[in-house]
Amino acid sequence: MSTITVKEEPVQITELAFNNINFKIGRLDNKLLYKMYDFALVGDDYTKTSANSLVCLATQSSVERLDSMAQVAVKWDGPISLAVFVVGNEEFTILQYYVTYLRLCFINIRNNVTFHIAVPRGHEPDPESTKMIDMHKGFNCQQPEQTLRRLLKTRSIETMRWRVRNNYPQNHMRNFARKGCQTKFVFLTDVDIVPSDNIVPLLNLFLRNEYCTNRCAYVIPTFEIDFRVKFPSSKKELLRLYRKGLARPFHEKVFIYNQYATNFSRWFSNTETEETVHISHNVTNFEFLYEPFFVAVDDAPAHDERFMGYGFTRNSQVYEMYVAGFSFFVLSPIFTCHWGLQQKKSRPVWREQQNNLNRKRFETFKNEIFARYKISPSRKIK
C-alpha cells in the first residue's frame, strides 16, 4: 500500500487533536440514540479546497478502520468530510492520538480532511479524563496500519463487549458525512474504498460540463484487488490485473448483485481516451440490491436510519433513488478499489444475523417509498 508522508523520522505527539469539544452539547439524531458533533476538527485548507472543487468525498468509519485514510487522502486531493463513530473515553483518546498522528504525517489529511464525531448517547467522552498513552518510541509515519493497531490495544474488554452487543449505525454516519460537504456534488464511499489516481481534477472537469442536470448519479466502478499487487495506476493496468485474476468486481464472490448492474464487461470494452472522464454507458439493467458508489448532487434521498449494522444500508437508498426516477451513468476511466479478494466463508455469522433483521425492516421501507413516490408498476422490482 503506497503512501506519501510528511516526515520520514518518527514524530512525537505533544498536543492532541479535538481539544475544544464540549461533549455535553451535541446534535441528537431523530431517535435520540446518538449525539453528533459537526466540524469537530476542520482541515487547514478545507474551506479553500471546497470552494475550488465541485465534488467532495464523504466517508465514515469507526476508530479501528481509520488507517485507510492514509491512502485515501493521498489519492483524493480534494475536500474530504469524514464522520467517525467513537464509544466513551477509550476510543476518543485513540481518536485523538491517531488523528494527531495522521495530521502530522500526511499533508493531505492535515489540509483537506474535516472530521465529525458521533457518539452513542450515554457514552459521551470526558476529555478531562483523557489518559496519556505511552508511545515513547514515537510514531512512524511509514506505518499507519501498525500505529493504529498499537493504539487499539489500549481498549478494555468492556468497550469491546459493547461493540459486539451494539450495531454500527452505518446510515447515520453516511448522512452525517455527506452533510459535512460544502460542494455541489458528493462522492459518498466507505472508508476503505480507495480512489484511482488524479481522480479529483478529472471529475471536476467532467462535472463542469455534465449534461444531466436532474436526478442523475454517476457510478464509479469498484473492484477488489489482491494484497500482493501494487495499486493500479490506470484502467489499462487494472484490466491487466483483472485478466490475471488479481482484480475483480467488488463483492463478486460474496454477493454478486452488489455491483452487477454496473456491467463491468461493457466498462472494460470501452476503450475511449483515458485522458478525460466520460460516460461509458447507462445502467439499463437495474437490479434490486444494487449498491454502487456514485457521485451525485447532494439532493439524493437520505440513507434510512432504521437500517442498523449490515445489510440493506446502502442498497435501500439506491433503490429509493431508482423509484424516485434517478438515472445512473457509469463513468470511465476512473475507478475505486478495495484491498483483498473477499471470500464468502470469511464472513462472520453476526453479519448474516444483522442482514436478516434488516431484510424484515426493508419490507416496511419498500411500502413506504412506493406510497411516497406514487410509484408506477413499471418501477417495481422483485
pLDDT tens track for 34-44: 999 999 999 99
Residue 139 lies in a domain: yes
Sole residue written with cell 515513547: 136
pLDDT for residue 151: 94
Q: Which of 51-60, 150-159, 193-202, 210-219 has the lowest mean pLDDT?
A: 210-219
Same domain membership, residue 93 and residue 128: yes
Same domain membership, residue 368 and residue 248: yes
Residue 136 lies in a domain: yes
pLDDT for residue 19: 87
**Bigger pLDDT: 113 vs 313:** 113
pLDDT for residue 379: 55
How large is the average pLDDT for residues 5-11? 62
pLDDT for residue 232: 97
Who's near 71: CB < 8 A, 6+ residues apart?
1, 2, 3, 194, 231
In 3D space, the residue among 251, 148, 241, 278 whose CA is nearest the CA of residue 193 turns out to be 251
Residue 336 lies in a domain: yes
Boundary-marking domain end, from 147, 174, 201: 174
pLDDT band at 210 (very low <50, low <70, confident <90, very high): confident
Rounded Cα distance, 39 and 3, in Å: 26
User: 242-286 pLDDT, tens per residue?
Assistant: 999 999 999 999 888 889 999 999 999 998 877 899 999 999 988
Is residue 2 pLDDT above 50, yes or no? no
Residue 4 lies in a domain: no
Residue 49 lies in a domain: yes
Same domain membership, residue 203 and residue 164: no
Same domain membership, residue 157 and residue 200: no
Residue 16 lies in a domain: no
User: 98-129 pLDDT, tens per residue?
Assistant: 999 999 999 999 999 999 999 999 999 988 77
**Bigger pLDDT: 134 vs 121:** 121
pLDDT for residue 375: 73
Rounded Cα distance, 75 and 198, in Å: 7
DSSP state, residue 11 = B
pLDDT band at 3 (very low <50, low <70, confident <90, very high): very low
Boundary-marking domain end, from 174, 205, 239: 174
Cα dihedral sign, 338-343-346-352 = positive
Is residue 1 pLDDT above 50, yes or no? no
Rounded Cα distance, 129 and 296, in Å: 42
Residue 304 lies in a domain: yes
Same domain membership, residue 117 and residue 63: yes
High-pLDDT (> 70) share of the chain, %:
93
Same domain membership, residue 198 and residue 134: no
How large is the average pLDDT for residues 59-66? 97
Query: Which domain covers residue 247, as residue numbers?
Result: 193-379
Same domain membership, residue 66 and residue 211: no
Rounded Cα distance, 328 and 119, in Å: 34
Same domain membership, residue 372 and residue 224: yes
Same domain membership, residue 137 and residue 76: yes
Same domain membership, residue 160 and residue 127: yes
Boundary-marking domain end, from 125, 140, 174: 174
C-alpha cell at 292: 454502487
Same domain membership, residue 240 and residue 158: no
Whether 104 contacts 139, CB under 8 Å: yes
Residue 286 lies in a domain: yes
pLDDT for residue 357: 82
CA atoms within 13 A on the CB side of 350: 8
Total of domains in the chain: 2
Same domain membership, residue 211 and residue 161: no
Give the β-pairing of 222-225 and 247-249. Answer: antiparallel
Rounded to the nearest integer, the mean pLDDT of the chain is: 90
